[in-house]
Structure 1
């Protein structure tokens, strides 16, 4: 079965051509929580799609105002199985997944409708978040991998949610926090065999400067998906900032695709106690090293905020000013 979508050949191309780096947004779930959203239970940020959709739209708007070129919808934890466990019927689950894209599109369209906000900006993109299978287990499995599932079983898990999200009309898919190569291969096969007009980035969660969460070398995982033309960027997310420069360097050695990085703030998540430990890093300062290593798309994951993205936007402005003087 082949499905057709109306995504552009490469939605990132214009931004990559015009900017020193494409600026992604920051955390959604932890930002929603900071604003009073209840993220308890297995749905995490997807719960807010029913409880407070306007709050999601407001966070998207704040990231756009901070300078983000891409806003990512609240579907990371969304799956038909997860919604079913929460008592939602299949059709209701599908509507909520579509709503995650719709809220991001509404925020983008409202932002872009104000002429004064367009100056010096590329047209912002909407990415539909595709979280890993482990995210639906709500037990930290996306930081461990080792699901015990085959590529075919992972394809079965992702197939219908991909179709639902694509039908909602995002510019691209953000396949995030992938802890194992098998899940990346499953997604690449779905794009090649069933969703040939979809465009996506794939970002892995890594446990150090060389390997995925399950211990697979990042380079091995990237080589397995590099031939998939629907994958328009690759890299890492939800990873400690201190590992990112080495991971970007490793990725650049094996792929010509643009490399992206949107790590956590520097704080560490404890899945057992359900809380964060430590302190955030100097994100904009660290980002200079990521860019020097070859990153072309940069943003933030857990515990980053609109202020983080504003700091990255200021860094980009300085880089553009320096280039114009040179």
Structure 2
């Protein structure tokens, strides 16, 4: 029976829920700047829920969120702090926990059109330099275009980084019933997975999109990987948002969460993905420790049934 890896969930919503400093445009970076003990608390909550991987709180440590002036002066220091907080939480856990170094979209979430390679190179070098001593592998997440993956791989190579790279794409989800599965740039999942393989990804995932669009992407990824003869693990961590328009900016406000994606509702989707062959599962925006605990119980039950 295949092993299943359980990820954590969304950092920003949980910080807001437990009373951490939280506002736009800093989003989850504000707690890192003003009250980092809240960040550690969120890591601890997800570990207690059963997460085997926690993700560094570096997603919003980019000029898009903290501003150019803060990033220029404090960017690497904030990345280092994000890495240290996650590493300490993992080290103190009572079960094995790995730390994923979050490498976010550098020029704005969901907006492939805003991607700028020169800016990306500078931002990624800063994040990698700060996070590197603390992470077990890299997670390029919520990537909207394959150009972002090329930049990430180049930045890791430039830094001499040998740790594994997991690549996670965000999917176009404004029309869940559409036929061809695409990432937000308009590129097909087949194209996106091929680029991930070419850039030596150790896993391919899909995140920060509605649950309804994940299965089609998983099937497309499985077909593409089979054609390429590369048996990479596939992962899913969806969000709890309603459909996002093509010109949306992730984290431009606290979107309403879908009432059907409570912990049990989300776990039903997780069961579907696991049945379809996914071996990495977790949650993104709006998916909290209670959701992860519910998925953890599901995974435990599945394993005990075999």
TM-score (norm 1): 0.81
Taking a change above 3 Å as real, the CA distance of residues 158 and 89 of structure 1, as seen in their structure-2 partners, is: closer
Cα-Cα RMSD: 2.3
C-alpha deviations, 1:125-167, integer Å up to 9, x for none?
A: 01121111133xxxxxx223112534x653344223222221x
Cα distance in 2 between the residues matched to 1:157 and 1:86: 13
SS in 1 for 2:134: coil
Kept after mapping to 1: 8 A contact 2:101/2:131: yes
Q: How does 1:146-295 map to 2 (within 5 A)?
A: 146-147=113-114, 149-150=116-117, 154-166=120-132, 168-192=133-157, 194-208=159-173, 210-229=181-200, 231-255=201-225, 256-268=231-243, 271=249, 274-277=253-256, 278-281=258-261, 282-295=265-278
SS in 1 for 2:300: helix
Kept after mapping to 2: 8 A contact 1:155/1:186: yes
SS in 2 for 1:295: coil
Kept after mapping to 2: 8 A contact 1:83/1:89: no
C-alpha deviations, 1:236-286, integer Å up to 9, x for none?
A: 110101111111111111122111110102545675972323424211111
SS in 2 for 1:234: strand
Look up the match of 2:228: none
Once the two structures are TM-superposed, the CA of residue 38 in structure 1 deviates from its matched residue by: 3.2
Q: Which runs of 5+ in 2 are unaligned?
A: 226-230
Look up the match of 1:32: 15
Q: Which runs of 5+ in 1 are unaligned?
A: 1-17, 113-117, 136-141
SS in 2 for 1:275: coil
Kept after mapping to 2: 8 A contact 1:26/1:304: yes
Once the two structures are TM-superposed, the CA of residue 56 in structure 1 deviates from its matched residue by: 0.8
SS in 1 for 2:151: helix
TM-score (norm 2): 0.85
Kept after mapping to 1: 8 A contact 2:58/2:104: yes
Cα distance in 2 between the residues matched to 1:111 and 1:196: 26
Taking a change above 3 Å as real, the CA distance of residues 276 and 70 of structure 1, as seen in their structure-2 partners, is: same
Cα distance in 2 between the residues matched to 1:253 and 1:85: 42
Look up the match of 1:95: 77
Cα distance in 2 between the residues matched to 1:108 and 1:148: 33
1:312 equivalent to 2:279? Answer: no
Q: How does 1:48-67 map to 2 (within 5 A)?
A: 48-67=31-50
Taking a change above 3 Å as real, the CA distance of residues 267 and 52 of structure 1, as seen in their structure-2 partners, is: farther
Taking a change above 3 Å as real, the CA distance of residues 262 and 319 of structure 1, as seen in their structure-2 partners, is: same
Look up the match of 1:77: 60
Kept after mapping to 2: 8 A contact 1:80/1:161: no
Count, aligned residues: 287
Cα distance in 1 between the residues matched to 2:237 and 2:219: 15
Look up the match of 1:124: 97
Kept after mapping to 2: 8 A contact 1:100/1:128: no
SS in 2 for 1:206: coil
Once the two structures are TM-superposed, the CA of residue 196 in structure 1 deviates from its matched residue by: 4.2
Farther off after superposition, 194-203 or 27-36:
194-203
Look up the match of 1:298: 281
Kept after mapping to 1: 8 A contact 2:106/2:119: no
Cα distance in 1 between the residues matched to 2:260 and 2:104: 23
Kept after mapping to 2: 8 A contact 1:25/1:68: yes
Taking a change above 3 Å as real, the CA distance of residues 57 and 219 of structure 1, as seen in their structure-2 partners, is: same
